[in-house]
Amino acid sequence: MSEHYGIDLGTRNTAVRCKSGRIASSSGGTIPSAVAYDSLTAEMRFGDAAIELLRSPDPALRARWSIATSFKTALESDAPFVQTPMGSKTAAQVLEDYFRGLISLAAKAGRPALNSAVFSIPVGFSALSRSRLLRAAENAGIKPLAVVSESTAAYLSILLGLGAAERVAVVDWGAGTLDVSVLRIMGSSTAGFVIEEQACSGSRIAGDHIDMAIYEAIAARARSDGREIIAFDQIPVELSRSILSACEFAKIALGGQSSHDLVFQTFTDRKSAKFALTSQDLRDLAAPARAAAFRVLDESIEASGAAVGQFDRIIFVGGCTGILGFRDEAQSRYRQAATFPSSPEWVVAEGALQVASGHAAYESVQDFGCVLDDGYFLPLTHSPIFDGRSEVVHVAATESTRRASLVFAERQAGRTSIAGTLSVPLQGHLGEPVHIKTTLRRDLTVGVEAWSHCCDQAEDVREMSIDNTRFRFRVKP
């Protein structure tokens, strides 16, 4: 029987969930976001198997494989991301291979076929990154149903277990991105909820920054011993992935003990290295990133027009929220409002599954419209009914010309800003009808098409795309 999936594509690890259960790695946790290519046989390995190669103590084995990680954060680039026997691949092409690995893993786990899913995305994900993610899924054989911001998805998954709340902030802090959604909650469990995103912010200050801070601290120690250690931004890509993986492993290991030996199978002077790292070292090295995370959260709360004391819950999910010192500081800052769900690595995928199952549907918060010659704002979308269906309106040409210049704008909180213009061919008749069609696309952009009733739509339609930034989610009782 077919089932939809919720997929939380992470920079370091990916969570996959369907109604039947979780798709787990060999260790029972989330699936490493890694793909490895054999330079001799063109064999591909995925997930745990790729990470094992990255951390292998055998330098010849590591040299034989090209291992790609962190491809999620490189989707905007068309530059070669990894070399394979079949040529170079971009980050988007690596992502296609990774999705094929997820499909195979779901089949091996005896789960329903992974052929449709809702994907969670960082709130700062560009329209280009969203588009390439969805295209990669389609090329791999997964039909993308929709996307939902990671932090909002996290709240969707735990909404009913938290009790009554009107104002909620959600922080999803992972390896590659920090996402904050400030939410207003309306309704009830019996009548259904409306969750409105009042402010969303994103940052790239995340787990990778802490891993690089660990590296720089270790490199400084090595230099003091007379070793020639190059700066991180000069490290070859393949070696940097191995080093960051070792730093991440030490960071996680220190969560349960006071000290840990950080072992680099290959350091930047091409020699193996072993360094002692203490829990206090990690607290100190992570302090700048922790401060940046709380700053983004406070700025998001301020942008929503509310004060910290007005929030019922401030929810923290994502791997970095388990870093030493983070929970203590969050509870000191936000007291009873600070909430740390169990299994924080799975809640985003479970929220995406809520959207995939139809239990929650997204709607646009902004109003998009056409600015007419007299300055009137003609709405093209009518929240809350603008939920993925196309809306068509008609305007009339006010001059006998061969072209109509249409100005489109978006309106939030009473403020109007120009979103773009279209120049539409006409036959030149006064009062000639012009059709305008708007559609909320699954990549969270608004598509606009305009054409004259008197012209050939197939040839004369003009199109544009407007990025969308905020949404509301309607949750069924």
Instruction: Give the angle subtended at the CA of 129 by the CAs of 44 and 357, to the nearest 5°.
Output: 85
The CATH number of the domain where 215 resides is what? 3.90.640.10
Bond from prior residue into 384 cis (ω within 30 degrees of 0): yes
Please identify, among 341, 356, 371, the residue that sits at the C-terminal boundary of a domain.
356
The reply to whether 137 and 196 lie within a common domain is yes
- DSSP code, position 68: E
CATH at residue 470? 2.60.34.10
Where in the sequence is the domain holding 118, given as residue range(s)? 5-205+291-356
Q: Are residues 372 and 327 in the same domain?
A: no
- 33/92 same-domain check: yes
Domain total of the chain: 3
- Residues 118, 95: one domain? yes
Q: What is the pLDDT of residue 118?
A: 92
Domain boundary residue, one of 230, 261, 286: 286
Candidates 6, 301, 311; CA nearest to 147 is 6
Are 84 and 144 found together in one domain?
A: yes
Same domain (yes/no): 460, 444: yes
Task: Answer whether 85's CB lies under 8 Å from 37's CB.
Answer: yes
Indicate whether 227 and 113 sit together in one domain: no
In whole angstroms, what is the distance from residue 297 CA to residue 304 CA? Answer: 11
- Shared-domain flag, residues 195 and 212: no
Does 258 lie in the same domain as 151?
no
The answer on 387 and 377 residing in a single domain is: yes
Mark which of 304, 322, 356 sits at the end of a domain.
Answer: 356
Q: Are 215 and 249 in contact (CB under 8 A)?
A: no
> What pLDDT score does 55 carry?
80
Q: Are residues 101 and 73 in the same domain?
A: yes
55 and 159 share one domain: yes
Q: What is the CATH number of the domain that holds 179?
A: 3.30.420.40
Say what the pLDDT of residue 263 is.
73
Structure confidence at residue 100 (pLDDT): 97
Give how far Cα 384 sits from Cα of 152, 194, 367, 474, Å. Answer: 18, 10, 10, 10
Query: Edge-to-edge strands of the sheet including 433-440?
Result: 390-396, 433-440, 445-452, 462-467
Question: What is the SS3 assignment for 108?
Answer: helix
Q: What is the pLDDT along the chain (477 residues), one digit of tens a residue?
A: 578 999 999 998 999 999 999 999 888 889 999 999 998 888 899 999 998 888 887 778 877 888 899 899 899 999 999 988 888 999 999 999 999 999 999 999 999 999 999 999 888 788 889 999 999 999 999 999 888 888 888 888 888 677 778 899 999 888 888 888 899 888 877 788 888 888 888 888 888 888 888 888 888 888 888 888 888 778 877 777 777 777 887 777 776 666 777 777 667 777 777 788 888 888 888 889 999 999 999 998 988 888 999 999 999 998 888 888 889 999 999 999 999 988 888 999 999 998 888 877 777 677 788 888 888 888 876 544 444 455 566 777 777 788 888 888 887 666 788 888 999 998 888 888 888 888 777 777 788 889 998 888 889 999 988 876 667 788 887
Q: What is the DSSP string of 223-250?
A: HHTT-----GGGS-HHHHHHHHHHHHHH
pLDDT of residue 265: 66
Give the whole-angstrom CA distance, residue 180 versus residue 468: 16
